Amino acid sequence: MFGFNYYTPTKVVFGKNTESKVAELVKEFGGTKLLIHYGGGSVVRSGLLKRVTDTLDAAGISYVMLGGAVPNPHLGLVYEGIDLCKKENVDFILAVGGGSAIDSAKAIGYGVVNEGDVWDFYDYKRKATGCLPLGVILTIAATGSEMSDSSVITKEEGLVKRGYSSNYCRPKFAIMNPELTMTLPDYQTACGCTDIMMHTMERYFTNGGNMEITDALAEGLLRTVKKNALILAEDPNNYDARAEVMWAGSLAHNGITGCGNDGGDWMTHKLEHELGGLYDVAHGAGLAAIWGSWARYVYKDCLPRFKKFALNVMDVRDEGTDEEIALCGIEAMEDFYRTIKMPTNLRELGVNPTEEELVTMAKKCAIGVGGEMGSAKVLNEEAMLAIYRASM
């Protein structure tokens, strides 16, 4: 077991109608002039944005608005947001939406507080020294960005998708009303459940420092999301299932399911980020399409963990060799993806890269991780290419 820092400063306000608390939360954290940042319009159509601005108006809190954060959010809009915040003397950002609006808000927050080009942080050229404070009203359970230290942005030029992590960007508060997620298309609900499970699995499939308590939390979280994803596939308006998944989404990425280990594997995410940057696929679907190929490539180097996953999460029977049990676990996970209509390869994801494109993705991925990365198994560029090829 390794020592660790566990830092989750976000105040979570969870339950029905919690968005009505937005003005008092903004005041509690010192916001006087807001940027309200949102995505492509779902919050306009659902009426949420109007409810939020009505509440802020009634409390006398002024704000400017910037919508348009797309899935795999773009750097161009981040620059626009930075200029707007500076011009309007914004001192607090309120992200209303999913991971894309939140990540874009975090990047804007970095750009307002730090001099120079904000992309430098995502390009690993330098480190941020602060971020404008931000709060979140979450509308999709998926990335955990509402409590996480990370932000993922795509630079349009060269379609480079990169993440940057620091504690500065952790939201001050996260309003989570599970009812707000009931307007999601089924596909996005399934993508979200996949991402939540993957955040836990990235931390679970490691070769270093695992703790019993962390494993118990992780396995419980995985079983809960699996069960409730199946419920939501049949009954999308089930409040309790929405609530289970929503809270799991935050716990899956606020660090608690990684305490004591070596930091996690994260290669499925890195491989997916290249797909997201290049083909603009939904993040969760991209993860599902890659995971099986990654798992089959690495499982022999992380066999005890794959066996444990098969037995404790996927309910595989304890029969046969460790390898057979591990493989049954991988197959069971892929069956689960199919049941919730997630892809298990690139073809099902709807992309068909040429060999040249696969080579480019592997190259960019290797550059993005500084040459090689992974804990279940350390992967270099050649291994990344092999996994991309296997996922065709």
> From the CB of 43, what's the least distance to Zn ion, in Å?
21
Contact positions vs Zn ion (CB under 5 A): 195
Give the range of 180-188, 234-242, 348-356, 383-391 binding ligand NZQ by CB under 6 A: 180-188
> From the CB of 198, what's the least distance to Zn ion, in Å?
6
> From the CB of 253, what's the least distance to ligand NZQ, in Å?
5
**Are 195 and 187 spatial neighbours (Cβ–Cβ below 8 Å)?**
no
d(CA 327, CA 276): 27
User: Of these partners, Zn ion, ligand NZQ, none, which one is at the site of residue 152 (CB under 5 to 8 Å by kind)?
Assistant: ligand NZQ
**Are 194 and 342 spatial neighbours (Cβ–Cβ below 8 Å)?**
yes
Question: Which among 222, 382, 197 is positioned nearest to 315, based on CA atoms?
Answer: 222
DSSP designation for 219: H
- Pick between residue 98 and residue 353 the one whose CB is nearest to ligand NZQ: 98
Q: Which residues, including other chains, have CB under 8 Å from residue 108's CB and lie 6 or more apart? A: 35, 37, 78, 81, 82, 85, 93, 132
**Which residues 139-158 are close enough to bind ligand NZQ by CB under 6 A?**
139-140, 142-145, 148, 150-152
**Are 161 and 273 spatial neighbours (Cβ–Cβ below 8 Å)?**
yes
Distances (CA, A) of 192 to 105, 241, 248, 297: 20, 13, 11, 25
**CA 244, 23, 151 angle in degrees (round to 5)?**
55
Give the range of 80-88, 135-143, 306-314, 366-374 binding ligand NZQ by CB under 6 A: 135-143
- Pick between residue 264 and residue 353 the one whose CB is nearest to Zn ion: 264
- Pick between residue 304 and residue 350 the one whose CB is nearest to ligand NZQ: 350
d(CA 95, CA 100): 9
Distances (CA, A) of 216 to 209, 257, 311, 314: 14, 9, 13, 14
Token output for 112: 């307002």
Contact characters 238-267, ligand NZQ, x per CB under 6 A? ---------------x--------------
- Pick between residue 226 and residue 270 the one whose CB is nearest to ligand NZQ: 270
User: Of these partners, Zn ion, ligand NZQ, none, which one is at the site of residue 39 (CB under 5 to 8 Å by kind)?
Assistant: ligand NZQ
Q: Which residues, including other chains, have CB under 8 Å from residue 47's CB and lie 6 or more apart? A: none
User: Of these partners, Zn ion, ligand NZQ, none, which one is at the site of residue 98 (CB under 5 to 8 Å by kind)?
Assistant: ligand NZQ
User: Of these partners, Zn ion, ligand NZQ, none, which one is at the site of residue 75 (CB under 5 to 8 Å by kind)?
Assistant: none
Q: Which residues, including other chains, have CB under 8 Å from residue 3's CB and lie 6 or more apart? A: none
Q: Which residue in the set 31, 81, 98, 329 belongs to the binding site for ligand NZQ (CB under 6 A)?
A: 98
d(CA 77, CA 118): 12
User: Of these partners, ligand NZQ, Zn ion, none, which one is at the site of residue 183 (CB under 5 to 8 Å by kind)?
Assistant: ligand NZQ
Q: Residue 72 interacts with ligand NZQ (CB under 6 A)?
A: yes
> From the CB of 152, what's the least distance to ligand NZQ, in Å?
4
Please report, as ranges, the residues that interact with ligand NZQ according to CB under 6 A. 39-43, 71-73, 97-101, 103, 139-140, 142-145, 148, 150-152, 180-181, 183-184, 188, 192, 195, 253, 269, 276, 283
